[in-house]
Amino acid sequence: MSLTRADIERIAHLARLNLTEAEIPVYVDSLSRIVDFVSELERADTGGITPMAHPLPGLRQRLRADVVDESNRRDLYQRNAPATQAGLYLVPKVIE
Amino acid sequence: MTLHTRTVAELGQGLRRREYSAVELAQACLGRLESAQVELNAMITITAEQALAEAAAADAALAAGRAGPLAGIPLVHKDIFCTEGVLTSCGSKMLANFVSPYDATVVARLKAAGTVMLGKANMDEFAMGSSNETSFFGPVRNPWDPRRVPGGSSGGSAAAVAARLVPAATATDTGGSIRQPAALCGVTGLKPTYGRVSRYGMIAFASSLDQGGVITQTAEDAALMLGAMAGFDPRDSTSVDMPVPDYCATLARPLEGLRIGIVREFFDEGLDPVCEQPIRAALAEYERQGALLREVSCPNLPLSVPTYYVVAPAECSSNLARFDGVRFGHRCERPRDLMDLYTRSRGEGFGAEVKRRIMTGTYVLSAGYYDAYYLKAQRVRQLISQDFARAFEQVDLLAGPTSPTPAFALGAKVSDPITMYLNDIYTIGANLAGLPGLSIPCGFVGGLPVGLQLIGPHFSEALLLNAAHRYQLETDWHRRVPSAWA
């Protein structure tokens, strides 16, 4: 099976990736080959097999107590932000 | 005084005997790191000023008799580990301006043990690659032959230890990213059990596979380093709450009666025949030391690469959704609207391979394909894990090659992603099953190192390190240094 240009454009949109005109045919080709490659999994007999949910058998995701254990470090974290004002992150206008 | 060829264990003794100071040692390593940059490009950032301050603090602690176990030991961290106040790029343009506001747990623990960070090692972008050629900061070169790749994704860490620029480097392994570059550079690389080392502050690629570890000259050094890095961390919800054994205490145990399984599927037609001889010779050395060799089969293991290339991209597409051009990281110029801000910031900030994996993951998780690809892959992953579990009912450890070939030429595999992905055919299985594995040097072909891989049951790091150490007591492959860096 092969992916089309429209497939790549749809996937790129879902992934919020802007692709250049030159990139599109490259990904049509390489993603098609990857999808063909992973389709090899179809030949494995997985009847009655539970999908693996955790790499360590018998272990589950631990939950922590619902208590505040971090202090507010907003100003420190916002030093890495491209644009902030008065403690807020700036983005293009969303609501007219 | 030649310091650069010494191991962590040897340097620790010298520092305690005051044969040299931590500052002198840091200066010696910094000089080598800086002068190697043009040829190897092993580093993204060198933190000389901070390193000398940390070394001076280590000297003070040593003088006062309150030094940590690794006081004054210089190392570099893979640039995937967050380091407070220092650029943490993950090899990407996306984070080329990111100064981490905090330390990863691994970094904090090694700092508390007294280590001196000299800088941040180069790597494949977001750890996605097997040759270090996807780094935004340019490829790393193999110290054994600068026309060849060092392997990846921890290529900078492996090259820095191989060229004896530093005695130790942290690294991470999602599908072989510690063991494969260790093999290609002729050094020791340990990937612990999933959950053994905290992932907090280790920039996520595939959260069910990622595990931090270490690259050193020797298994003994890996034991010293792992002892300082491992342990429960409430900040990582997959960190396992189990005591950390003294990995050094059991290193020298005799191997009499150890059952080593030779995995039939690791000696397939993909293995370069010239690599098989040193692997077989290493197995013979184990037999000479009293280990019992027997062939075992993991019939689903040949499906590990396609399984990985569904599971890892799926997790990557989800993890890398956080890079939105809003809170940190690259932001495009003059966005028209919010969608334009997202798509152009991500399109510009991520390199070609990262975009390929994000899109692969988006596709296998998208409506209509989730069951056929993602759920199917997680079922096959279960079969692969069961194969390993059955093998460990018969043997104590598994052995085989780390990589199908020695280091290949720069540029040789960049045009074909599948060919590149197949480099990890022998390493991916351990990640899928959460198992610990290590690679140790076991010979050379055409002047290039070959690595032997050992894989153990969950939390068997002490046994793996013991088996590796006993091999290194009787061989000197791990002591070989590329002539240009001797």
Q: What are the tens digits of pLDDT across the range B138-159?
A: 999 999 999 999 999 999 999 9
Residues of B in contact with A64 (CB under 8 A): 234, 237
Neighbour count for residue B316 (Cβ, 10 Å): 25
Residue B51 contacts residue B77 (beta carbons within 8 Å):
no
Contact A82 B325 (CB under 8 A): yes
Q: Which two tokens stand for residue B129?
A: 């690659």
* CA triple B133-B135-B139, angle to 5 deg: 45
In the predicted model, what is the mean pLDDT of residues B111-133?
A: 98
> How far is C-alpha B320 from the geometric centre of its chain's CA atoms?
20
A11 with B362: Cβ contact below 8 A: yes
- Per DSSP, the residues of B51-103 read HHHHHHHHHHHHHHT---TTTT-EEEEETTB--TTSB--TT-GGGTT-B-SS-
For the stretch B394-432, pLDDT in tens is: 999 999 999 999 999 999 999 899 999 999 999 999 999
* pLDDT at residue A70 in the model: 86
- How confident is the model at residue B442, as a pLDDT? 98
* Gap between the Cα atoms of B200 and B72, Å rounded: 24
**Stretch 183-242 of chain B: residues touching chain A, C-beta under 8 Å:** 193-195, 208-209, 234, 237-238, 240
**For residue range A46-68, what is the model confidence (pLDDT) as tens digits?**
999 999 988 998 777 788 889 99
Is it the case that residue B65 has pLDDT exceeding 60?
Answer: yes
Mean pLDDT score, B126-133: 98
Who's near A33: CB < 8 A, 6+ residues apart? Answer: B417, B418
Taking an 8 Å cut-off on Cβ atoms, the answer to whether A38 and B373 are in contact is: yes
Residue A21 CB contacts under 8 Å (≥ 6 apart), including other chains: none
Q: B347-370 pLDDT, tens per residue? A: 999 999 999 999 999 999 998 999
Q: What is the mean pLDDT of residues B334-359?
A: 98
Strand B259-263 to strand B292-296: parallel, antiparallel, or no bridges (unpaired)? parallel
Residue-averaged pLDDT of chain A = 93
Q: Residue B256: what pLDDT?
A: 98
Cβ neighbour number for residue B176 with a 10 Å cutoff: 32
Mutate to test the interface with A, among B336, B360, B460 (most CBs of A within 10 A): B360
Q: State residue B241's pLDDT score.
A: 93
What are the tens digits of pLDDT across the range B447-471?
A: 999 999 999 999 999 999 999 999 9
Q: Which residues of A touch B209 (CB under 8 A)?
A: 55
Predicted complex ipTM? 0.96
Residue B1: per-residue pLDDT: 67
Of all residues in chain B, what percent carry a pLDDT higher than 90? 98
Confidence grade of residue A1 (pLDDT, cut at 50, 70, 90): low
* Residue B294 confidence (pLDDT) above 70: yes
CB contact under 8 A, A51 and B378: yes
Does the beta-carbon distance from B309 to A37 stay under 8 Å? yes
Amino acid letter for position A92: P
- Using CB atoms, pick whichever of A34, A73, A94 lies closest to residue B360: A34
Beta strands at B188-191 and B211-216: parallel, antiparallel or unpaired: antiparallel
Q: Mutual orientation of helices A23-38 and A5-14 as an angle, nearest 10°?
A: 90
Q: Encode pLDDT of A29-52 as tens digits.
A: 999 999 999 999 999 999 999 999
* Amino acid B359: pLDDT: 98
Q: DSSP states of B276-312 as a string?
A: HHHHHHHHHHHHHTT-EEEEE--TTGGGHHHHHHHHH
Predicted TM-score of the model (pTM): 0.98
Q: Does B382 touch chain A (CB under 8 A)?
A: yes
Reduced DSSP (H G I as helix, E B as strand, rest coil) percent helix, strand, coil of chain B, to 5: 45, 15, 40
